[in-house]
Structure 1
């Protein structure tokens, strides 16, 4: 056994002690750092969770208020009970601690204060008033409080809008339409014994269906606010309850409104705790609720007790003990040098024991090293690439993914993992450290088997061994995260450099300023514009380069931008040469990257828009002026006319609008060329402009059309001299290239105001229409617009349009009126009568709408609809076993269509199961048919198809005999105007007699329209007219009612028994009617004291003719009739004599008695004649 020098052993002992203590300290420091970082991250996570919970709770409260506001918006009226029910169902007090209630504050303008107070007092609050009660422009009042307990009732009627802090939040909600949060306040309902800081949340309530697109509209639509008040201590303690921890780990939290100062303190979790400086755990978070910023400060109440350093102390204690033991062991070897030989055997045993102890110590050191993040290593390098790791901690497994045993003999496996780009630098740095024995510190990358790349940092001290090899003791740590951050920062800096270089090539001025409006960046264009360099500009406001006036103008926009909203401004700079350059300056705020809530500066871009402005001015001129005549164009005319109409309304004066068109201009254009036409237009325009007054307007619409606006017309005649001057200016010749060019003008004039409300375009159209009338009247003149005629035409057009829409909307329907044989009771068909089921006016008869379309194409379309509808109805009735023909009226315009017969055939072809004779066409005699030959041919074609033809309203229209002769009709329908009065007017009875005779002569059957009474039917049957229709038979009815009517129809029994008179008996009809009419006229003459006595030649009467004809009646009846006739004559003679002497004004009982007697004789005569006509034997 060899013994070393004691001094060498002593140095070795001290060296080992130093290394052991260094390794121990390094290990303990690493353990402490890891524990601290873990605790800090854990606390930061808790702080962030609490902040998120507060944000979510505020958003939940905002959603509740939005719901309450939605309730008020959705209903016309929300009662106090409905409000209480709604809020109680939310169970806010149970589920959301800290909220004092959900209330509604009504917005009350000053002029509505009295009515508002009276309304609330009438709801059961007789002492209600808004407080505080000093006068102001507007009020708010808490009227709905839920829960409506004693505590909340203290706030009833409180005007929150009167208090500045609340008013600021309420105004923000009203103007933005978003929920707002107030600054720190004391709630009105707060206890005086244990007061808490509070805040109030407001949600605006607007009138339903209001337009809220602008600030003014939102303010005008405001009804009030849904209000939620919160006690901060209760609110925060409910949120922090889930983060309760033992006292030593208790979390402290402070909430500030906007800035950290005592007056802005909203909440403090441990107000009685002794204040201490911020610890390493201190966290600051912010909550941004719609612009209201809360600062949250977090820390541990006792930060010194949070992290347990037991592993640190264990590491320090264990490492120190082992190092001291090793030191003492080696020192012991040094001190026992003298007795080494004597005690060799004993020392051998001791050495063995201490070797064992050393192994144990080394094992402990390895254990400690394994707990250190990174890899603790001992690396030996003997040269020529020969190296190995006698010792590595378990960290090699975490960093390299290999075991310590794999590199104990050969380190090449470890070096093989080094990145190819870094291996040379690693080897060179190791060699350099070996040569100069300097510490080896190096950063390098390694490749993992899965392709992942890690960054490592090695730090070690070299030690030269006795055999010449070098041993390094050190630590390798994984710095991937830090390195990636460094590389990202480097890349970002490089990107920023490239971005700034790119901005220097942008022609626009790009710059940035800080919150003090001082430049922090400017690109090359900005520096060139201001005539300075970066050093001169950065840090300044630019006033010395822009001038104080421009700087002040730009600073106004800067201040607005720094408040958080983008803005833009146009400004101008004047160069040394006097050239003005216009710029568009667009500025946007720059926010901090943390939470994007704090403005830290702004970015501006100023673009040269000088050329754009010049083009805008040019386009503005071209948009409003005619380029040829320099007169206002159509666009400016519209504005001038609008202004003139407003001025006329204000001053109660009139204006004249003149539409002027040049006569003969096209001839000049065609014969002399467009250049000549343009010169003529310029010359005429200049003359007409000189002809009108200052303030009047002459505008060119295009081509040769102009419009003139004459202002301040007190009387219409005031405009006539100006109209003549315009005509004269337009008609004066223009000399051009030795040619004498001349045109005239046609003027249409209208005036404003008019009885109807008109738009400017309507006035121009009126003047245009009048100008057209001037041209029709011969040109070179003016024509005044007729508003009444235009209104009638407009109403006509509107009616036609309404009818067209009704046809498309299927608003028309057909009603059906039966036609019967009164003699037999047989139903011969129905007439289809169109009706309009108007959505507003109800059921309209045809005379309300058909006259508007008599000569319009709609007459054809409506007629086609009627034909198809009638055929469809025939088919429907056939399916119900009802065989019933339908007659329809055909308009003249429809009948004149050349394809009428072809289209009718097509209609019939669509219903092959219907016999054509089931359809009958009624031609209105009141219609002007036009070419009778063409119409007759068309009707003949229709008749050949099997369709019936009849002539309707006979006797009331065009050339009845001509129509009767030339039209192929088989039926004549006598108009109801003749039938209605056959019981009163002998002339109508004579007309009916004549029509029946004509029909018989032409071989036509007759249908009488307008049979309204049984007596009408009696007379018609006696005259031989058996076919009829009218209200006395049936009113027009819907198709659905026809089957029921058919089933119930029974002809009157008297009609079945009424006898048809012989021709020689017609005098009986005429006699009764003639005497009745004559006597009725006498009575009326007397009653009305008429100066004209109704004349009647009784000898030439129908009764005398009947009696003189020696009729075939009994002598008794003849004598009775003769006697009645004589009595009537005698009574009339006496009445006439008395009337001639006294008149009706002296009427007495004798006159009245004579009138009564005459009426009695009339009744006896009519009764006798009736019996005579009914008696077949007579």
Structure 2
């Protein structure tokens, strides 16, 4: 037992060494881990900031592009100059970086392409074209570029639809109506030396006032895109700025288009030379999405091993090793010392034991008392030589000084080393003062423990001087750290409160707080000044006496909403004690209890003076709706007024008069006397015209010298005439300016509302504008009424022409073919090409439904060329299948009169060299030659030289001049179907046909009859000597695919081969039968009360009489039989004529007999014609 204690202490020293080394290593590792975590956290903050900045910059650019799209919404037309002015005001070079310019791209249909290029070239861009070239369903063109410098001009006319990446972004913007961002692209403005990765941002531009709810509506309303091109290196340079240079450690930032790290999608790399480095512990990825377009941002340090400062780690390790070593050597020293003193201690043990027993009881009592006292109970002794100690200290000294009572019994120097350096001198001074005066020592001071903790203590003791000159203080020491912290916190809080209140007192807005009883608990200086009171008057009151009952009731409603947990916002007008009316925006929100945020303890209110803002809004509203020069409503206000007036007119069944007024001669005045004189003239005339109309009417200035008036409840021109005259007089009165006498007049265009068709306000103004133009053409200083019927016809005609154009472009036209035959031989001599419109909604349309619409339009030429080329293609197709069949096509008059008709025909024939020109026949309308016979003859002669066949179509519908037959080099005459249709009933048509046949024979022309609808038509034509024919009685027009089959199965009527051609002396037979049937038919119609007069039949001059009296070469018996039938018919008709209808009981019987006699007579005449020649 004697030697065990030092051995245990020696072992404990080694255990302490191991534990110290372990704790030192753990502490150093913890410091290292903390340093690394802090560095990673700081790096994460930096990357979050950069990512947010990139997204904010993209959002800013999107707003800028939206502003550009808004320029198109606000303007009827945006010119290149207006676009440059708008973009220059954006100050791109100062406010934004990386953007090469703000541009506008126009969407163009193939039909608008040529017109668009020609129009742009007239603006000074002579080399303008759309590239890349080639046919497409839709074109786009970069039309406006700003700034318009040499680099950006490379993109002029570029069709971005040809690039899939750009196309996808443009389609997304068009269909969603939102700004879109493209993928990685090579900008067309880049050069090989300074090439950067790029991206584009698109904002769609739609037609104003068009519905945009659906994708289809947005596609239909699209005009184009406002877009910006961004060079990514420049773009990021503007975001990073000097930040990269200020960092001690450079960061490698890379941006990828999409969500994957791929070289082909790399948009930006801040350090391209470090692209292959492996990720460090700082490597981070951030995803950024802009309207559906994702970007991946990766961050890492270039030199991650130089980022973290391990100084604290090494210091911790060093200090731990030092302390562990000191503790180890101390314990080893104590172990050795105790070993040497152990024997001496054993000798004194008995003596000490006795003394300990005596003191044990006293110490126990003192310990019990001291343990109950907060802090420590002590005796501090100061010797004359300045040495101090604590002869006694309770266990509480451990909590205050972190030492045991035994450690300071001999020397109190350690206690003074724990005192705060700033408080040590004051403590020593107070102790010395108490020693000199023997006064109570009371003092507050701070101590610093070894771990750096600072604590406040309070000492209170009574001094006592001993005989040896030493002084002892008996008292207690208390830890007052918590009290001091509370005091300090209260002091800091009070200071912050005072600073916050001072800051709020400098805020111009009224800021106040109320409790749940709506009593003021705080009000800043602005609130007190507004109410004209001090804080003592307002705080604790409800403010009714200051605000008044009406205002208080209005504000209390918002107060109660806030106390219910709702945030309110309202505007109100307050009249201050000085009488000034002030507009406020009042915002109120509830205040929740800090301990339980579900409990509302009051409300916070902020009232901001918006009087100036309201005034500015009113000024802007006035500027937006009124002309600054004349103070009249402008175009925007006019549109609203006209819309409201139309609604009122519809609601009350009233009428409106809309007048478009333009000053005649204003430009001359403005040019001669200057803009000042022009402005004076405008304001004076505007005031006079305003006075000339009624109070409820509207006069607006559109711009320049153009005005529009809306006259309410005026139903007609007669009622409005006095007002129109007054307007003319007001405009024409001279205006005196100094020594100059200025005078203009006015031209007025007038239209009315409502109209038979629904009209928009803009249409009414356009109508009045058109009428005004007519007034100017008529001599000025007058008014002109818009013709709605003519406008409607022109509009419908224009729409019809456009529909036909679309049909031609869309291959909706087809050719049907009607065979032409020789009825006597049965030969098919050719086909006539007849155009048809395969309408997608109305089905197959005949030419009469669309050809008259374009008769005088250039589209007739395009359609005619299409017909000729389609016919040539069909001839070639039939030739290749073994069928040789000539095709005739109709040539419109306008087409034929073109000076280059023959040249164009030659080009088409040359295009199909396998088709012989003679296989194509041109049918020229007789009416086409009217007006310029010489030119038409020359054109037809050129065509004949080319080898094509020519025919004169619809002969008989024009003048049928012999000059035509003589001068026109046609081979065939086609008799119009209107004459052929009635040759079975009308002797005059038969006579015309006889004349045409005689003329054709005289001039050596062939004749073909159109409109052969029945076999009987064919019979008559063959008897007349016309063998060639076409018509429904032979074949209807049919598709080309059906022609070969029809030709294979075609058989002429069997009797046609037997019908002989009549001689001239036999023609009366044909006329007689026709004449007799026509007379009987008229007779029947008269008896049915369908004709008023009895049909006369001149027996002496009739063809039948002439036939019977011409001594025909027939048998006497047959001639007598014909005489008999003729006389019986005449007698029966005479008997019927003696009685009125309804008075003859035998009328029905007589009519039956009459029909039988007529049939017998006609059949007899036909039999004579079929017999051998007479």
TM-score tier, shorter chain, comes to 0.5 to 0.7
Task: Tell me whether 1:1126 sits opposite 2:1123 in the alignment.
Answer: yes
Matches within 5 A, 1:223-622: 442=449, 444=451, 553-557=554-558, 559-560=560-561, 568-574=569-575, 579-585=580-586, 608-622=609-623
Task: Tell me whether 1:759 sits opposite 2:760 in the alignment.
Answer: yes
CA offsets 1:406-432 (integer angstroms, 9 cap, x no match): xxxxxxxxxxxxxxxxxx999999x99
Matches within 5 A, 1:881-892: 881-892=882-893
Matches within 5 A, 1:1091-1130: 1092-1106=1093-1107, 1113=1113, 1115-1116=1114-1115, 1119-1130=1116-1127
CA offsets 1:435-473 (integer angstroms, 9 cap, x no match): 99x99985859xxxxxxxxx999xxxxxxxxxxxxxxxx
Relative to structure 1, the CA distance from residue 212 to residue 1138 in structure 2 (aligned partners, 3 Å threshold; closer, same or farther) is closer
For residue 981 of structure 1, report the CA deviation from its aligned partner.
Answer: 0.6
For residue 1104 of structure 1, report the CA deviation from its aligned partner.
Answer: 4.8
Relative to structure 1, the CA distance from residue 929 to residue 1090 in structure 2 (aligned partners, 3 Å threshold; closer, same or farther) is closer
Relative to structure 1, the CA distance from residue 456 to residue 929 in structure 2 (aligned partners, 3 Å threshold; closer, same or farther) is farther
- For residues 1109 and 808 of structure 2, the distance between their equivalents in structure 1, rounded to whole angstroms, comes to 63
* Residue 1040 (structure 2) aligns with: 1039
Q: Do the aligned residues in 2 keep the contact of 1:1089 with 1:1144 (CA within 8 Å)?
A: no
* Residue 1171 (structure 2) aligns with: 1175
* Residue 1057 (structure 1) aligns with: 1058
Q: Do the aligned residues in 2 keep the contact of 1:514 with 1:520 (CA within 8 Å)?
A: yes
Task: Tell me whether 1:832 sits opposite 2:833 in the alignment.
Answer: yes
For residue 838 of structure 1, report the CA deviation from its aligned partner.
Answer: 3.4
For residue 1035 of structure 1, report the CA deviation from its aligned partner.
Answer: 1.5
* Residue 1147 (structure 1) aligns with: 1144
For residue 519 of structure 1, report the CA deviation from its aligned partner.
Answer: 8.0
Query: Secondary structure in 1 aligned to 2:633?
Result: coil
Relative to structure 1, the CA distance from residue 977 to residue 738 in structure 2 (aligned partners, 3 Å threshold; closer, same or farther) is same
- For residues 799 and 1162 of structure 2, the distance between their equivalents in structure 1, rounded to whole angstroms, comes to 54
Query: Secondary structure in 2 aligned to 1:688?
Result: helix
- For residues 869 and 951 of structure 2, the distance between their equivalents in structure 1, rounded to whole angstroms, comes to 19
Relative to structure 1, the CA distance from residue 628 to residue 930 in structure 2 (aligned partners, 3 Å threshold; closer, same or farther) is farther
Relative to structure 1, the CA distance from residue 600 to residue 212 in structure 2 (aligned partners, 3 Å threshold; closer, same or farther) is farther
Query: Secondary structure in 1 aligned to 2:662?
Result: strand
For residue 855 of structure 1, report the CA deviation from its aligned partner.
Answer: 1.9
- For residues 779 and 744 of structure 1, the distance between their equivalents in structure 2, rounded to whole angstroms, comes to 8
Q: Do the aligned residues in 1 keep the contact of 2:1136 with 2:1150 (CA within 8 Å)?
A: no
For residue 980 of structure 1, report the CA deviation from its aligned partner.
Answer: 0.5
Task: Tell me whether 1:949 sits opposite 2:950 in the alignment.
Answer: yes
- For residues 522 and 824 of structure 2, the distance between their equivalents in structure 1, rounded to whole angstroms, comes to 112
- For residues 1099 and 805 of structure 1, the distance between their equivalents in structure 2, rounded to whole angstroms, comes to 63
* Residue 666 (structure 2) aligns with: 665
- For residues 1123 and 347 of structure 2, the distance between their equivalents in structure 1, rounded to whole angstroms, comes to 196
Matches within 5 A, 1:91-102: none
For residue 995 of structure 1, report the CA deviation from its aligned partner.
Answer: 1.8
Relative to structure 1, the CA distance from residue 427 to residue 755 in structure 2 (aligned partners, 3 Å threshold; closer, same or farther) is closer
TM-score normalized with structure 1 length: 0.53
- For residues 858 and 895 of structure 2, the distance between their equivalents in structure 1, rounded to whole angstroms, comes to 8
* Residue 683 (structure 2) aligns with: 682
For residue 641 of structure 1, report the CA deviation from its aligned partner.
Answer: 3.1
For residue 937 of structure 1, report the CA deviation from its aligned partner.
Answer: 3.7
Task: Tell me whether 1:1073 sits opposite 2:1074 in the alignment.
Answer: yes
Q: Do the aligned residues in 2 keep the contact of 1:855 with 1:893 (CA within 8 Å)?
A: yes
Relative to structure 1, the CA distance from residue 612 to residue 1090 in structure 2 (aligned partners, 3 Å threshold; closer, same or farther) is closer
Task: Tell me whether 1:702 sits opposite 2:699 in the alignment.
Answer: no
CA offsets 1:363-395 (integer angstroms, 9 cap, x no match): xxxxxxxxxxxxxxxxxxxxxxxxxxxxxxxxx
For residue 957 of structure 1, report the CA deviation from its aligned partner.
Answer: 3.4
* Residue 1163 (structure 1) aligns with: 1159
Task: Tell me whether 1:1012 sits opposite 2:1008 in the alignment.
Answer: no
Relative to structure 1, the CA distance from residue 701 to residue 428 in structure 2 (aligned partners, 3 Å threshold; closer, same or farther) is closer
- For residues 591 and 834 of structure 2, the distance between their equivalents in structure 1, rounded to whole angstroms, comes to 79
* Residue 70 (structure 1) aligns with: none
Q: What is the aligned length? A: 726
Matches within 5 A, 1:836-985: 836-878=837-879, 880-927=881-928, 930-957=931-958, 961=962, 963-985=964-986
For residue 978 of structure 1, report the CA deviation from its aligned partner.
Answer: 0.7
Relative to structure 1, the CA distance from residue 999 to residue 596 in structure 2 (aligned partners, 3 Å threshold; closer, same or farther) is farther
CA offsets 1:44-84 (integer angstroms, 9 cap, x no match): xxxxxxxxxxxxxxxxxxxxxxxxxxxxxxxxxxxxxxxxx
* Residue 1024 (structure 1) aligns with: 1025
- For residues 928 and 1052 of structure 1, the distance between their equivalents in structure 2, rounded to whole angstroms, comes to 37
- For residues 808 and 563 of structure 1, the distance between their equivalents in structure 2, rounded to whole angstroms, comes to 69
For residue 984 of structure 1, report the CA deviation from its aligned partner.
Answer: 1.0
Query: Secondary structure in 2 aligned to 1:855?
Result: coil
* Residue 824 (structure 2) aligns with: 823
For residue 931 of structure 1, report the CA deviation from its aligned partner.
Answer: 3.8
Relative to structure 1, the CA distance from residue 499 to residue 1104 in structure 2 (aligned partners, 3 Å threshold; closer, same or farther) is farther
Relative to structure 1, the CA distance from residue 777 to residue 522 in structure 2 (aligned partners, 3 Å threshold; closer, same or farther) is same
Q: Do the aligned residues in 2 keep the contact of 1:1010 with 1:1029 (CA within 8 Å)?
A: yes
CA offsets 1:100-156 (integer angstroms, 9 cap, x no match): xxxxxxxxxxxxxxxxxxxxxxxxxxxxxxxxxxxxxxxxxxxxxxxxxxxxxxxxx
Query: Secondary structure in 1 aligned to 2:1069?
Result: helix
Relative to structure 1, the CA distance from residue 1105 to residue 573 in structure 2 (aligned partners, 3 Å threshold; closer, same or farther) is same
* Residue 237 (structure 1) aligns with: none
For residue 546 of structure 1, report the CA deviation from its aligned partner.
Answer: 6.9
CA RMSD for the aligned pairs? Answer: 5.2
CA offsets 1:677-709 (integer angstroms, 9 cap, x no match): 333333333333333333233333333333333
Relative to structure 1, the CA distance from residue 713 to residue 1053 in structure 2 (aligned partners, 3 Å threshold; closer, same or farther) is same
Q: Do the aligned residues in 2 keep the contact of 1:921 with 1:947 (CA within 8 Å)?
A: yes
Q: Do the aligned residues in 2 keep the contact of 1:662 with 1:730 (CA within 8 Å)?
A: yes
Relative to structure 1, the CA distance from residue 769 to residue 597 in structure 2 (aligned partners, 3 Å threshold; closer, same or farther) is farther
For residue 929 of structure 1, report the CA deviation from its aligned partner.
Answer: 6.0
Relative to structure 1, the CA distance from residue 1096 to residue 613 in structure 2 (aligned partners, 3 Å threshold; closer, same or farther) is same
Relative to structure 1, the CA distance from residue 907 to residue 521 in structure 2 (aligned partners, 3 Å threshold; closer, same or farther) is farther
- For residues 1132 and 521 of structure 1, the distance between their equivalents in structure 2, rounded to whole angstroms, comes to 127
For residue 632 of structure 1, report the CA deviation from its aligned partner.
Answer: 2.7
Query: Secondary structure in 2 aligned to 1:699?
Result: strand
Relative to structure 1, the CA distance from residue 949 to residue 600 in structure 2 (aligned partners, 3 Å threshold; closer, same or farther) is farther
Relative to structure 1, the CA distance from residue 543 to residue 1075 in structure 2 (aligned partners, 3 Å threshold; closer, same or farther) is same
- For residues 867 and 513 of structure 1, the distance between their equivalents in structure 2, rounded to whole angstroms, comes to 92
Q: Do the aligned residues in 2 keep the contact of 1:892 with 1:929 (CA within 8 Å)?
A: no
Q: Do the aligned residues in 2 keep the contact of 1:896 with 1:929 (CA within 8 Å)?
A: no
- For residues 1117 and 535 of structure 2, the distance between their equivalents in structure 1, rounded to whole angstroms, comes to 139
Query: Secondary structure in 1 aligned to 2:951?
Result: strand
Relative to structure 1, the CA distance from residue 1053 to residue 627 in structure 2 (aligned partners, 3 Å threshold; closer, same or farther) is same
* Residue 197 (structure 2) aligns with: none
CA offsets 1:829-865 (integer angstroms, 9 cap, x no match): 3323233333443332222232222223333343344
Query: Secondary structure in 1 aligned to 2:627?
Result: coil
Give ranges in structure 1 of 5+ residues lacking alignment.
4-210, 214-332, 342-423, 446-454, 458-489
Q: Do the aligned residues in 2 keep the contact of 1:936 with 1:967 (CA within 8 Å)?
A: yes
For residue 890 of structure 1, report the CA deviation from its aligned partner.
Answer: 2.8
Relative to structure 1, the CA distance from residue 441 to residue 1091 in structure 2 (aligned partners, 3 Å threshold; closer, same or farther) is closer
Relative to structure 1, the CA distance from residue 504 to residue 831 in structure 2 (aligned partners, 3 Å threshold; closer, same or farther) is farther
For residue 1003 of structure 1, report the CA deviation from its aligned partner.
Answer: 3.4
* Residue 990 (structure 2) aligns with: 989
Query: Secondary structure in 2 aligned to 1:818?
Result: strand
Q: Do the aligned residues in 1 keep the contact of 2:511 with 2:604 (CA within 8 Å)?
A: yes
* More displaced 10-residue stretch of structure 1: 499-508 or 873-882: 499-508
